[in-house]
Amino acid sequence: MAFAPAGNASSPPPGEGVVHARLTGVSRFFDLPSGAKLHALGPIDLDIKRGEFFGVVGPSGCGKSTLLDVLAGLISPTDGEVWFEDKRVTDVPDGVGVVFQEDAAFPWLTVRDNVAFGLRRAGFDAAETKRRVDYAVGFMGLNDFAGTYPAQLSGGMRQRVCIARTLVLQPRLILLDEPFGALDQQTRLLMGDELLRLWRETNATVLLITHALDEAAMLSDRVGVMSARPGTFIDFVETKWPRERDSRIVSDPRFGGITARLWEKLRVESLKIMGTQAGHK
């Protein structure tokens, strides 16, 4: 049993080079209470291919979460256009799942009801809902907590609830904003493996925002490195990992090289931020 309908896992790998989501000339400004405008993001041109695992790293405050919001149709870009599956994105499109950076578990529902929430709304019948929820709850190591309320769980476990809640719907585009931030290193690696497995099984397209360079290097087909705010992509690193992969590739000789290249770019951007902060003091 898996998230994907039977047969899907054995279907041929997703078409190479087919664009799944596209951003053209996207910028986002925020109006500050002072009346000033804050340039948070862009301009960005980006194509994410169908079935691609795309990682995003960037210094904090560079606009990563804003990028996610724009891509998910939660906020509109100030300039430019967002496309998903050949349709212009103006609101949240069908087929997009998001795991937010903040804790978004519903505190008034048990773990089980949290995970079932989207399925029930989408009108799945009770049997199918139960099947998927059972699978996801087990998959995320939450079996012993199925009847528990989020308030009794650790931050890491709550985040797993949110991941499960998103994945049961089998979104075609999965956006994750630092989803493993609250987890310890071992759990983080294992959850990464699970995410890879799921990505393979469902042929989903994944955009993963992370502040952990090794995580980006290990999971992604391609990693985009963002500049300090206003965030733009200053480098793309193709990892060329095989589709069948797991956390053991950290011992691959190329792994260190990829991480080093990411850090080289990111170090400069991070220093810029430290510099401006020091300058404000």
Partner 1 sequence: MITREGWIRFGVVAALVAAFEAACRFGFIPRTVVIAPTEMVVSLWRLIESGEYNDDILSTLRNVLASSLLAVGLGFMTGVLIHALPRLRAAIEPLLASYYAIPTFMFYPVFIVVFGVGDRAIIAIAVLLSIVAMITSTLTGLDRIPRVLRKTARIYRMNLPARALLIDLPAAAPYLFTGIKLSFAYAFIGVIASEFILSGAGIGYSIAYTYNNFNNRNMYGLMLLVILVATIANTALDMIDRRLQTRLRR
Ligand X SMILES: Nc1ncnc2c1ncn2[C@@H]1O[C@H](COP(=O)(O)OP(=O)(O)O)[C@@H](O)[C@H]1O
Site of interaction with ligand X (CB under 6 A): 30, 38, 40, 58, 60-66, 229
* Of the residues 27, 28, 65, 217, which one makes contact with Mg ion according to CB under 5 A: 65
Smaller CB separation from Mg ion, 21 or 67:
67
159: contact with Mg ion by CB under 5 A: no
Nearest alpha carbon to residue 207 among 105, 119, 78, 99: 99
Q: Which does 103 bind (CB under 5 to 8 A by kind): partner 1, Mg ion, ligand X, none?
A: partner 1
Q: Own/partner pairs for 125-133, CB < 8 Å, 24+ apart?
A: 131/1, 132/3, 132/168, 133/168
| Count of residues in contact with Mg ion, rule CB under 5 A | 2
CB of 177 to Mg ion, least distance (A): 6
* Closer by beta carbon to ligand X, 66 or else 259: 66
Closest separation in Å from C-beta 267 to ligand X:
17
Give whichever of 42 and 58 is closer to ligand X, judged by the CB atom.
Answer: 58
Q: Are 241 and 221 in contact (CB under 8 A)?
A: yes
- Find the shortest distance in angstroms from Cβ 103 to ligand X: 15
The nearer residue to partner 1, 86 or 91, going by C-beta atoms, is: 91
Query: Least separation, in Å, of the C-beta of 20 and ligand X?
Result: 22
Query: From the list ligand X, partner 1, Mg ion, none, which binds 129 (C-beta under 5 to 8 Å, kind-based)?
Result: none
- Name which of ligand X, Mg ion, partner 1, none residue 66 binds, using a CB cut-off of 5 to 8 Å depending on partner kind: ligand X
